[in-house]
A and B are shown apart, each in its own frame.
Chain A
Amino acid sequence: MGMGRQARVALGITIERLTVWDWIWESSISIVRHPGRSLVTALGTALGTAAFVATLGLGSTLGRQVSDSFDARRATEVVVRPDEPNLDTAWQGRKGLDRLRGLNGVTAAGRRVLLPEHGIARAVAAPAHRFRVIGADPGALAAMIPELVSGRRYDDFHERHAANVVLLPQPVAEASGINRTGVAVFIGDRPYTVAGIFRDVARRPEALLAVVMPATTAERLEDPALPAERDVIIATAPGAAPVIGGQAPLALWPEEPGALHSVAPADPRTMRREIEANVTRISLVLSLVALVMGAISIANAATASIVARIPEIGLRRAIGARPVHIFAQLVGETTALGALGGLAGVGVGVTVVSTASLANGWPPVLDLRIATLAVGASAAAGLLAGLWPAARATRIQPVAALQR
């Protein structure tokens, strides 16, 4: 623009760029001195960010809570069952079970024979209550860990001889009118000695509503026409369940790989990862919604405020501001307001998460990077939202300042 430069030299004038400091100062002063306008503009991003941070914070706090309270015992339990109910019962054989118990990470393992309901009575002719019968060998008992209130568990001797002994859960004993061990109960016409009474189990809670006896004893009650369900239950060291779950079927029945399957609980760590991944996905959607909401609200407020600022903008143009100065100032303002709204929103979000956690006695989980990200995203929303109104404002002619 040679002509422009010549003219400027002749007139002794210069074209000035606004310094960064002046730009920041003008934008800041405009924000600070018009708190009402600034509040309305920043409100959208503040609310959006608050929702985002609170959701993410509560989500990860809850996620941590779920996996922390995850039953440690349940996480160390594996059950092996045949795919076909008619599989040769030899898969529950002693050799296979010994191999299984030899695996690193197995703390206890044993076989079970699960019979349908049978009538349990105090005497042959007495009225009977019907309960399931669970045959569990001493290895299975060791995995279940019944919490005895009286008597003791049966052992390998009873298992080998298919002895007529039972363990009764407290509700079953009470229903049958039994309050001590050593007495007999009748299943059909056969008497069984009550060896122990338990009030809880660490694993396999179905035993709490059943009569528990040695597996070999239970097999004598089996109806040949109606084969019992059979499984093997395994207690593992913490964290070993997924691995044992993979190895157990082959250890038990190498003759027919694939005939057995195991049910192992999810690894708590995997579970936590999954929960957190879900939370993150939901939060990502929420944050996008919040971002768009914030941007729209800023754009709306900024567009509205520009109408009110026509005299100001006209004045600035009249006293020498170039369109780029107007553009830079307005975008600077919306960006700063976006960031400020984001900061306020993070404050609110953190307060919500902390309060909710405190009220429930949970340790709050909040990622500082999330807060930083939220403020950055809000600032970006402010910048984007400011572009359109700022571009419109540059079209305001300086003569507007003279209009009364």
Chain B
Amino acid sequence: MTAVLRLVAAARTYEDGSPVYALRATTLAIGQGEYLTITGPSGSGKSTLLNILGLLDVPDSGAYHVDGVEMTAQPEATRGAVRGQVFGFVFQAFHLLAGHTAAENVELGMLYGPWRRRDRQRLAAATLDRVGLAGRTLADPRTLSGGERQRVAIARAVAGGPRVLFCDEPTGNLDSENTSNVMSLLRDLHSGGLTVVVVTHDAAVAAEGERRLRVTDGIVTELEGDG
């Protein structure tokens, strides 16, 4: 299995009076089609790891390769294009735009990419159908339940056909029923070949991963053998 994401001795330190080692030198390869979960206590550095993997943050030292291309020195335009066209993001707080319909929120995920408007609309409708929200395309997110909102957010993340899906506490705001709905949706997407990286507090969600990492005090450890 080829590595789609590869960290080489990547470290991230924040200066807060004394240095805070959010991520100590980490070397990590994530293969295409892997389902990876990352757990760890609050402030352990798991969000920093996710931000660096998702190109939302830059390591202070070390290197980060996406598809063999070193990314830390790339211009912001290229990093942004990778985020928009290779990656998809799902957040705990959904981050749907109020006042925009479900379909418009899903289309927004493709706005800054190479898709034409007509294609964006077609893909958005198809993806909402796939996550079971075909009847809610014109709904304002404010009128949707938490589970429905997260499914719209997942549709936004995957409608453009990314290769890697990053989820930051995707079930953190959901009840158990909606959690299991979102879990099965992620499993479904993974079986379609998508690389899935999930940061979570929830042991049940973490157990879904075929490969599990734990972050403690900025140190990343494998909980089981490589997948």
Measured CB to CB, the residues of A under 8 A from B are: 1, 3-4, 7-8, 10-16, 18-19, 21-22, 25-26, 29-30, 33-34, 311-312, 314-323, 325, 397-399, 401-402, 404
Contact = CB atoms under 8 A, between A and B. Distances in A.
Contact of A401 (B78, B91, B108): B91
A13 B81 CA distance: 7
B8 interface: no
Interface string B55-93: 011000000001111010111111011111110010111
A318 B56 contact: yes
Contacts of B80: 317, 320-322
Contact of B81 (A15, A18, A29, A34): A15
B179 interface: no
Contact of B111 (A7, A22, A314, A323): A22
B84 A320 contact: yes
Contact of B104 (A11, A29, A321, A325): A29
Contact of B73 (A3, A320, A404): A3
Interface stretch (B94-102, B181-189, B201-209, B214-222): B94-102
Given A22-B117, A402-B51, A402-B56, A11 B69 contact: yes
Contact of A4 (B78, B97, B117): B78
Contacts of A397: 56
A266 B98 CA distance: 65
B54 to A, nearest CB: 8
15 contacts: A3-B73, A7-B78, A10-B67, A11-B86, A13-B86, A15-B81, A16-B113, A29-B100, A311-B95, A316-B111, A318-B83, A318-B89, A398-B56, A399-B51, A402-B168
Given A21-B117, A316-B112, 6 more contacts: A7-B69, A7-B74, A10-B69, A11-B82, A16-B112, A316-B108
B69 A319 contact: no
Contacts of B193: none
B132 interface: no
A324 to B, nearest CB: 9
Interface of B: 47, 50-51, 54, 56-57, 66-69, 71, 73-78, 80-86, 89, 91-93, 95, 97-100, 104, 108-109, 111-114, 117, 156, 168
Given A320-B83, A321-B112, A399 B78 contact: no
Contacts of B117: 19, 21-22, 25
A10 B78 CA distance: 12
B215 to A, nearest CB: 16
A401 B69 contact: no
B56 A399 contact: yes
Q: State the majority secondary structure of interface residues on A.
A: helix
Nearest to A325: B112
Contacts of A315: 91, 95, 97
A336 to B, nearest CB: 16
Given A311-B95, A315-B95, A398-B56, A320 B81 contact: yes
A18 B112 contact: yes
A404 B173 CA distance: 11
A14 to B, nearest CB: 5
Nearest to B68: A10
Nearest to A9: B69
Q: Which of B66, B68, B81, B92 has the most CB of A within 10 A?
A: B81
A21 B56 CA distance: 28
A235 to B, nearest CB: 73
B108 A319 contact: yes
Contacts of A22: 111, 117
